[in-house]
Amino acid sequence: GESVTPLTQCAHWHFDLDIIAIKHASCQKFDACISCHNASESAHHVPEVWQKDQRDVKAVLCGVCKDLLSVSEYMACGSRCPRCGKGFNSGRKGHWALYFEIGKGEG
C-alpha cells in the first residue's frame, strides 16, 4: 500500500481506528485499503472478493497486535480486535462488499 505505517494505516485511511489490513482473494496480498491495492495491482488483475464459503480464511490483520482474524471473526468482532481489544474503524463495514461476498443484512 501507499505509505503504510506499522499499524497498517495508509494515505487514504490514517486515523486512530484505521488499523487493519485485508488480504485480497485475487492476489493473496495484504493491503490497508482497496485504493492501495488497486494502485499497486491494477495492471495485474481485477480484485475478487472472499466468497461466503471462504469465511474461515485468515484474511484480516490487526495492525496493533498483528493477530490474523478469519473473515467470520472480523465480521462478528463488533469493530474490536478479539485478541488485543483495540477498536477498529466501524465505518469500514460499509466497504465490506469490496472484500467479502455479502448477504442480505450484512455490511
Render pLDDT for 57-91 as a digit per residue (tens, 0 to 9).
Answer: 999 999 999 999 999 999 999 999 999 999 999 99
Contacts by 85-89, CB closer than 8 A, 24 or more apart: 86/19, 86/62, 87/17, 88/17, 88/19, 88/20, 88/62, 89/13, 89/15, 89/17, 89/18, 89/19, 89/20
Q: Specify the DSSP class assigned to residue 23.
A: E
* CA dist., res. 32 & res. 67, Å (int): 15
CA angle, 86 then 67 then 35, to 5°: 80
Given this model, what pLDDT does residue 103 score?
85
Model confidence at 52, pLDDT cuts 50, 70, 90, reads: very high
- pTM of the full structure: 0.88
